[in-house]
Amino acid sequence: MKKYKEWISYILIIVVIVLIRTFIATPVIVDGSSMIPNLVDNQILILYKLDKNYKRFDIVVADHKVNGTKEHLVKRVIGLPGEYVEYKDSKLYINKKEVKENFIDVETADFSLAKLGYLEIPENYYFLVGDNRGDSSDSRILGLIPKDEIKGKVKFSLFPFNRFGKIKAN
């Protein structure tokens, strides 16, 4: 009977861990340089899955097909449903009004949502961009990302230890 109780506690621990990873939070690893300088290659982050209310400048993870293979994209929310997004002279404009991006200091090539064939972002879609604008496959290339492909927000970094702690969106 004692062994039975011991096994039950191990099984319960495993079930709780699986439930947490499936529905609440899970680790993700940054793959590549598209989020430099704010996130680096192989940085381990915690993805929170419960908060689906995405705001401008949130860092999110999306499962999106790239060249036929589903990949985890770690990107920043720039454009929200109902908005028109464009970059002119490295400045972000949302609905023709300039919006400051305080988290980067890089050049961004001119771009407009019209290049993707949209006058505004449709409902349940988002415009996601990497912080390293010159080296990022993002919505400027891949197109708009459906909300159901976004798995959650990244709010905490575990590794490397010099980046341990809460991640600021802006």
Give yes or no: 33 in active site.
Answer: no
Contact 59, 167 (CB under 8 A): yes
Cis peptide before 160 (omega within 30 of 0): yes
pTM for the complete prediction? 0.90
Residues paired with 2 in a beta bridge: none
The active-site residue out of 2, 5, 75, 100 is 75
- Thinking of the domain 27-166, which architecture would CATH place it in? Ribbon (2.10)
Give yes or no: 75 in active site.
Answer: yes
What confidence score (pLDDT) does residue 11 get? 85
Q: How does pLDDT run across 108-137, given as a tens digit for each residue?
A: 999 999 999 999 999 999 999 999 998 899
Contact 74, 34 (CB under 8 A): yes
The full DSSP string for 75-136 is EEEEE-TT--EEEETTEEEETTEEE--TT-------EEGGGGT-SSPPTTEEEEE-SSGGG-
The active-site residue out of 3, 33, 34, 137 is 34
Contact 66, 72 (CB under 8 A): no
